[in-house]
Amino acid sequence: MTQAVDSADSVDPRALEALNRYFGYDSFRPGQSGIVSAILAGRDVLGVMPTGAGKSICYQIPAAILPGVAIVISPLISLMRDQVDALNDVGLPAAFINTTQTPDEQDLVFAQALSGQIKLLYVAPERLETERFRNFAVRVPISLVAVDEAHCVSQWGQDFRSSYLGIGEFIAGLPTRPTVAAFTATATERVRRDIVSILGLHTPSITVTGFDRPNLYFDVISMPRKDKASWVASYIASHPDESGIVYCATRKETEALAESLNSAVAELRAAGGADVSDIGTIAVAYHGGMSADAREKAQRDFVTDRVPVVVATNAFGMGIDKSNVRFVIHHNMPESIEAYYQEAGRAGRDGEPSRCTLLWNESDIVTRRRLLDSDYENERLTPEEQEAVRASKRRLLDAMVGYCRTTDCLHAYMTRYFGETAGAAAKTDGKCVGGCANCEHTFETIDVTDIARAISRCVHDVNQHVGSGKIVKVLRGSKAQDLSYLNPESLLSFGMLDEVPEARIRDVLSQMATDGFLTIAEGRLPIVGFG
């Protein structure tokens, strides 16, 4: 597998011309042109880009240029009509086949495709298993099979769909193998490997890009639960003309917080000398349990700037296009970096400086772990598979916890997590572009190598039999009872890092695991071994 590297001089002139003609853009975003060129050269690709980064263009441009029809596999029937209408509007003939059509309507689309009148044909994965579609597919020249939301093929991610498992077989059954292009916003290595093997990609060119958002300032603040509401109120009070989203973990919390913000923010502003006689509503709640009418009103009030702040569960955001969101505050820690990135990334779509703040505390972690161990039931999966899914979710959560605890640049943490290399998280004068709380604060600089050496020594001292929490305790010279069976004071590494903050040690430890020097066992006990 290789990483496609973008270079300006490799842009295919046909691709640029199509980009301009159909979409009116002058240049590709990073990553796009490499993917387009690879597809045009007949090479399979895997594109990993966040939502909104521009994945669609990566297959729509080759579909416009290559002879034949491109089959686009997409799980969301509800979005197909919009996508197809938009393409036809710009002069790219497209159609869909789905369950909302009569057999006659479907036959018409098949006939148009067979006579070369359609460049892109959108279908849901279930469609590929039908006799009618297979009969059609073997007769039409297919330029490209593009698989959207390709992570649905993997049981190790969040949104497994069994219908995705048939895609590989469908492709294998075609008389000539077309180029296959898969796209996802999911980062984990395991899911990427599944995409490649289950879809049967042939030595794909893998491109990961678009994850750094240089106009966003990232901030992580650890604080007790009882202080969070007043922190949010004073933030909003001191940013009076800004629009923002506050994400909460539960529906009840959104309502309680929205209500308390309305009075608290008005009081704070009045105390600051502002005239609050016609201040109006500051915050509205939004969650999936509200009636459709109430949700729609809350959304409209927010999008039209009648109400500056929405306090929402993660149900809010899908399909909402508001570019001037100046801040996104997370009242609790989300379940994964993917989820956090998607929600926080709703700030600053217009490219203007915006702020993403995550409020968390240790009990958020405990709550998340408990939910994960108790909640997950899926009757389609065997007990072993369920345990594997849980283990995978635990890993996602660990990375999220790592983000809360890291003392490293938050932009760098994020882009490294998503596996992005080229051009990621640029820095000037030791600070990241866009900024983050960690680059701004100066942490005590203790040589990481010394910490890493001490950690290795400790893993050796305890014969690779001990979890990461205890390793940190040993290194800090803890007198905790639960260490006594190790006879810690006899260990060379005991107290070796008694001056170093716990968070710093954890940080280096997880970095060593990421880099492959150490392994951390999956499951309840994160036993640390050598990689």
Please, what is the minimum distance in Å from the beta carbon of residue 29 to ligand ADP?
Answer: 4
By CB under 6 A, is residue 49 in contact with ligand ADP?
Answer: yes
Q: What is the DSSP letter of 141?
A: P
What is the C-alpha separation between 364 and 225, in angstroms, rounded? 9
Quick one: 76 or 492, whose CB is closer to ligand ADP?
76
> Applying CB under 6 A, which of residues 37, 56, 313, 415 lies at the interface with ligand ADP?
56
By CB under 6 A, is residue 57 in contact with ligand ADP?
Answer: yes
**Which residues are CB-contacts of 241 (< 8 A; sequence separation ≥ 6)?**
308
Site string for ligand ADP, 17-36 (x = CB under 6 A): --------x--xx--x----
SS3 state of residue 464:
coil
Residue 164 tokens read as 């995705």
| Beta-ladder partners of 123 | 73, 97
By CB under 6 A, is residue 325 in contact with ligand ADP?
Answer: no
By CB under 6 A, is residue 79 in contact with ligand ADP?
Answer: no
**How many angstroms from the chain centroid is the CA of residue 514?**
18
The piece of 46-54, 63-71, 136-144, 251-259 that touches ligand ADP (CB under 6 A) is 46-54
By CB under 6 A, is residue 52 in contact with ligand ADP?
Answer: yes
Please, what is the minimum distance in Å from the beta carbon of residue 127 to ligand ADP?
Answer: 20
Quick one: 58 or 472, whose CB is closer to ligand ADP?
58
Quick one: 62 or 308, whose CB is closer to ligand ADP?
62
What is the C-alpha separation between 200 and 171, in angstroms, rounded? 9
Quick one: 270 or 303, whose CB is closer to ligand ADP?
303
SS3 state of residue 393:
helix
**Which residues are CB-contacts of 259 (< 8 A; sequence separation ≥ 6)?**
285
CA dihedral 392, 396, 126, 75 (to 10 degrees): 180
Please, what is the minimum distance in Å from the beta carbon of residue 506 to ligand ADP?
Answer: 34
**Which residues are CB-contacts of 275 (< 8 A; sequence separation ≥ 6)?**
none
The piece of 53-61, 294-302, 347-355, 493-501 that touches ligand ADP (CB under 6 A) is 53-61
The piece of 48-56, 106-114, 348-356, 402-410 that touches ligand ADP (CB under 6 A) is 48-56
What is the C-alpha separation between 76 and 85, in angstroms, rounded? 15
Residue in the shown chain whose Cβ atom is closest to ligand ADP: 54
Please, what is the minimum distance in Å from the beta carbon of residue 247 to ligand ADP?
Answer: 20
How many residues bind ligand ADP (CB under 6 A)? The answer is 12
Please, what is the minimum distance in Å from the beta carbon of residue 149 to ligand ADP?
Answer: 9
Answer for the pair 416, 410: CB distance below 8 angstroms, yes or no.
no
What is the C-alpha separation between 492 and 453, in angstroms, rounded? 12
Q: Can you give the length of the chain in residues? A: 531
Interface contacts to ligand ADP, rule CB under 6 A? 25, 28-29, 32, 49, 51-57
